[in-house]
Amino acid sequence: MLLAIDVGNTHTVVGLFDISRSGANHGDGPAAELADHWRIATTADRTSDELALMIQQFLGFHGFSFGGDVSGVVVSSGVPEVTAALREMSERYFGYAPLVLEPGVRTGMPILYDNPKEVGADRIANAVGAFELFGGPVVVVDFGTATTVEAISARGEYLGGAIVPGIEISLDALFGRAAGLRRVELVAPRHVIGKSTLESVQSGVIHGFSGQVDALVGKVVAEIGEATTVVATGGLAELIVPFTQLVEHIEPWLTLYGLRVVFERNR
């Protein structure tokens, strides 16, 4: 089994892959090989021992343990403190260093950024996973702490993308600055024209961010200049995507799948 760990600024997602099925049923998407997945809050001061305890409990749901069941660990991380703790955890409890997606790791994808080292590991994992699943050209929209857009060419080159403030941090700013507004449940409103403050906020989020995605993706596809597949991932993708016009596929575990592909290319 393979542990794929994606550390974001807000959440950390852990996936358990059955790599004995590698290469099979790629058309079925990441779920074909994903045995289970878990989401936890990212806490920078969590120790390697605490991380080990949490992951051991997750593995225990399937009757697995550190001893012999997990043959690899692959990590993408935007939080250096957590990266260091995961390295220590893997070396102490699994007996080997994890594969951390960072400069020098073989991805099989040319990075056509002015400075390739600036591209976040999660963005590269998304691009690798999307090209593996859908070919190119392909555009990935990731609804995370930031909403990111990645463009991948027909030849499998990472062309670049765009970054905008994510939905949740945008709402944090709104509620923090507007004393008369309170937090709302993020669900689809009955109407675009809200009949209450709650519904007005919901409408603004759902229709505003879906419109933002369509506008941005439309410009990216136009710049690519040919028919392009558009795929979304991230925690809020299933909420926003039904209201978009250009997103064709939702792959909730695309980042984890991309990490699995990178792990295979570095074995």
Residue span of the structural domain in which 86 resides: 2-100
Same domain? For 91 and 128 the reply is no
Residues in the chain: 267
As a 3-state breakdown, the chain gives helix, strand, coil percent values, each rounded to 5, of: 40, 20, 35
**Per the structure block, which two tokens stand in for 163?**
């970054």
Same domain? For 52 and 167 the reply is no
Q: How far apart are CA 152 and CA 249, in angstroms?
A: 16
Same domain? For 230 and 128 the reply is yes
Q: How far apart are CA 82 and CA 44, in angstroms?
A: 6
Looking at 48, 76, 100, the residue that finishes a domain is: 100
Same domain? For 140 and 246 the reply is yes
109 domain residue, yes or no:
no
- Residue 235 is predicted with a pLDDT of 86
32 domain residue, yes or no:
yes
36 domain residue, yes or no:
yes
**Which residue of the set 69, 122, 142, 214 is catalytic?**
122
Please indicate whether residue 142 is annotated as part of the active site: no
- Residue 189 is predicted with a pLDDT of 87
Q: Is the pLDDT of residue 24 over 50?
A: no
Instruction: Region of 29 please: left (phi>0), alpha (psi -120 to 50) or beta.
Output: left
- Residue 31 is predicted with a pLDDT of 57
Q: Is the pLDDT of residue 103 over 80?
A: yes
For strand 2-7 and strand 249-250, is the pairing parallel, antiparallel, or unpaired?
A: unpaired
Is residue 25 very low, low, confident or very high in pLDDT (cuts 50, 70, 90)?
very low
Same domain? For 228 and 148 the reply is yes
Is residue 23 very low, low, confident or very high in pLDDT (cuts 50, 70, 90)?
low
Same domain? For 190 and 142 the reply is yes
205 domain residue, yes or no:
yes
107 domain residue, yes or no:
no
B/e letters for 79-99, b = 16+ CB within 10 Å, e = fewer, are beebbebbbbbbeebbeeebb
Each residue of 197-231: pLDDT tens digit? 889 999 999 999 999 999 999 999 999 999 999 99
CATH number of the domain that residue 86 is part of: 3.30.420.40
